Structure 1
Amino acid sequence: MFNQYDDIILVHDLTKMLKIGKNKAYRLLQSGQIKAKKDWTGHWIIQKAAVIEYTNVSKA
């Protein structure tokens, strides 16, 4: 699952992985449902493992 993505992804990748829009992606990140951090430029840095964790939890 998600093997074609790097270990660190950006919001653009997140939208493709979850088949969601940018607004939904930012809401998931800002709410902490998907754990991520911002870099010094303000871009979200997301670990692929956090997305996998989110998909596993949301299925339960």
Structure 2
Amino acid sequence: MDKFVPYDKMSKKEQKKINGEKRRDWNGIDPVTKVVPESKKVYKRKPKHQKDDWDE
């Protein structure tokens, strides 16, 4: 039977192993970075209404 060793006293390898087990599952959360909508006060270079080539 293994003795109880506090987390702080464990070797770095054992701590890494425990931390890795805790980080395995995202529980259905998508880890992809989300795009935050920009403020309406920000200057935009794109024209508001793009010219349609169909009308010519």
**Greater helix share, structure number:** 1
Fold shared, TM-score > 0.5 on shorter chain: no
Question: TM-score, normalising length from structure 1?
Answer: 0.22
Question: TM-score, normalising length from structure 2?
Answer: 0.23
* Structure of greater relative contact order (alpha carbons < 8 Å, 6+ residues apart): 1
